[in-house]
């Protein structure tokens, strides 16, 4: 599976299971001051910490993870600068970055990112990167649902977009299973290793997400 970039992120494929949707902790609507901690059954999402830098370097700076993505930082210091940048962008109300912490672990092994596409933050782009030892564990589905709930419910985003390289079948499959709608192809829109790749443009809008979430809840109950 192919996790995704630190700039234009795209999800990887995880099985969508029939399960009770994870509950999140009570959150403050003022996410610009500090991100809430979102707790699921097997994963916790929280703000990145400088202490996460060594683990993120080990998890994300590998050949299999870098496929189809913009190159991540190459050193611990580079990841530390990235973490500080995420905090400044969050304080400015322009960007959100959650660290992905598996149950029983202390440090983040990947990230979910959401960045504004217009000044009101009603339209945003999202994606993630995850260390390959955690592919196929279900962390993506659980974490992705918490992120989508958060941005639609707390940040008040209306439209959430994602871009996935056309060759990235697993990333496109993950978006489809999450309920995203493929709207078209952005020709030669992503430069990677000296070549321009086509990207599929996907979207999830708040009304569709709430409707699909209600269907999941009915199936579980």
Which domains does the chain possess? 38-158 (3.40.630.30)
Q: What is the pLDDT of residue 146?
A: 95
User: How many angstroms separate the Cα of 172 from the Cα of each of 1, 16, 39, 151, 200?
Assistant: 11, 14, 26, 21, 8
147 Cβ contact list (under 8 Å, min separation 6)? 38, 45, 98, 112, 114, 126
Q: What is the pLDDT of residue 63?
A: 83
**Is-above-0.95 flag for pTM?**
no
Instruction: Please report the DSSP string for 30-72 in residue order.
Output: -TTT-PPPEE-SSEEEEE--GGGHHHHHHHHSSHHHHTTSPPP
CB distance 163 to 189 below 8 Å = yes
Q: What is the pLDDT of residue 217?
A: 62
Q: What is the pLDDT of residue 221?
A: 55
Q: What is the pLDDT of residue 169?
A: 83
Q: What is the pLDDT of residue 7?
A: 39
Output the tens digit of pLDDT for each of the chain's 221 residues: 333 434 343 333 332 222 333 444 444 458 999 999 999 999 999 999 999 999 999 999 988 887 777 788 999 999 999 999 999 999 999 999 999 999 999 999 999 999 999 999 999 999 888 998 998 898 988 999 999 999 999 999 999 999 988 988 878 888 888 889 999 999 998 887 788 989 999 999 999 898 887 766 666 55
Q: What is the pLDDT of residue 95?
A: 96
- The number of angstroms, rounded, from the C-alpha of 23 to the middle of its chain's C-alpha atoms is 18
User: How many angstroms separate the Cα of 150 from the Cα of each of 31, 95, 143?
Assistant: 10, 13, 11
């Amino acid at each position: 599976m192919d996790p995704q970039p630190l700039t234009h992120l795209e999800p990887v494929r995880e099985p969508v299971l029939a399960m009770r949707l994870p509950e999140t902790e009570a959150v403050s609507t003022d996410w610009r001051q500090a991100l809430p901690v979102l707790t699921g059954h097997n994963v916790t999402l929280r703000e990145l910490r400088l202490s996460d830098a060594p683990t993120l370097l080990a998890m994300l700076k590998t050949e299999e993870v870098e496929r189809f993505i913009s190159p991540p930082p190459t050193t611990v210091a580079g990841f530390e600068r990235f973490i500080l940048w995420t905090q400044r962008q969050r304080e400015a109300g322009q960007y959100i970055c959650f660290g992905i912490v598996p149950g029983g672990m202390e440090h983040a092994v990947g990230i979910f990112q959401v960045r504004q596409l217009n000044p009101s933050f009603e339209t945003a782009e999202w994606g993630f990167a995850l260390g390959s030892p955690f592919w196929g564990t279900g962390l993506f589905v659980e974490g992705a649902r918490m992120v989508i709930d958060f941005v639609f419910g707390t940040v008040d985003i209306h439209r959430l977009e994602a871009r996935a390289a056309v060759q990235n079948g697993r990333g496109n499959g993950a978006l489809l299973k999450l309920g995203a709608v493929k709207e078209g192809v952005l020709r030669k829109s992503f430069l990677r290793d000296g070549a321009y790749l086509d990207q599929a443009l996907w979207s999830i809008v708040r009304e569709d997400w709430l409707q699909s979430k209600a269907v999941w809840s009915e199936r579980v109950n």
